[in-house]
A and B are shown apart, each in its own frame.
Chain A
Amino acid sequence: MEVFLPLGMLVWASLTPYLIAPSADALPLLTLANYGRMLTPQSARGLANTVVVLAIAPLLAVAIAVAVAWIVTRTASRLRGIIDVLAFAPHAVPSVLVAVGLAYVALLARGAIPLYGSVLIIALADAIIYLAFASRTLNAAMIQVHHELEEAGRVGGLSPLATLRHVIVPLVRPALLNSWFWVALLSYREVTMALVLLTQFNNVIATDIWTLWREGEVNRVAALGTSLVAVMLALIVVATLALRRSPVSRTAAAGAEAAA
């Protein structure tokens, strides 16, 4: 419930021409003009960049997390402890520092890799920071896949990679979707690193909100913010429904049976 007070105020502000306390007297002032002025060349680019971030960051984080979880839970590699710590370590570093460090690296390497100032560097920063979320989720899921299910693949002639693809990944699919979605939402609203890494052309919706706020465009901030939240809520509903339809229960039941 606590989230609805600021959210309600945000919605109210997005509908008024200037900041005014909610009251019956103010009702005639309500307008959708802020929403109409939301789309500018600047915010259009922010939207496009956000889509790029969402296309890359969660996919990258989940892909690395699958590899990490597989090594940590399914192999006897001596490096698995180190890899597990490395995947979790970003939690120990404030994201603003990760962004600063990444910016320096990208500046130094800008001759070789044109990463600095692009939207890709924001996606990369998100993937690094949120890898820990995805890898913990997938570790937990993968450790529940009975090792004989994997071995059955190997003796059936499937290579380790084919076993991962056709046996393990389908079995942890709910966790996969879950962590993709989680990282996507976190990346969508992430502002700290995006601001540190912000240059002229790699603005995202979150930084647009910040910029507008700095410029005193309080009511446009509210409109943009309300839209951001509306999209997130819609995504959450869609994802919840999608996850409910996936064969979670079937897999979990079989896993429990195999483990017994």
Chain B
Amino acid sequence: MIPIEFYLVLSAFMFITGVVGVLTRKNAIIVFMSIELMLNAANLSFVTFSSFLGNNIGQLFVFFVMTVAAAESAVGLAIIIALFRNKLTINIDEINVLKW
């Protein structure tokens, strides 16, 4: 059997990849994909712990996270489209009517 640490290290690696992606990438869609990666890292941790602890609350939570992530992407993509119609760009560096 694969020890729990392997799963947790993989999940932590995914999470950090997501955080670095959000902080360094300039394309709004890629930033958004990195956020989804962070959520999936959390899902992997939940499933791992659920399996190793032998209770299924963690697996239940994963369904909530997936549902919420779907709702969030619907709203997020709509926002990105609305912005693209006005400014014809989704590069975060060029989105600067308001100062950061």
Do chains A and B stick together as partners? no
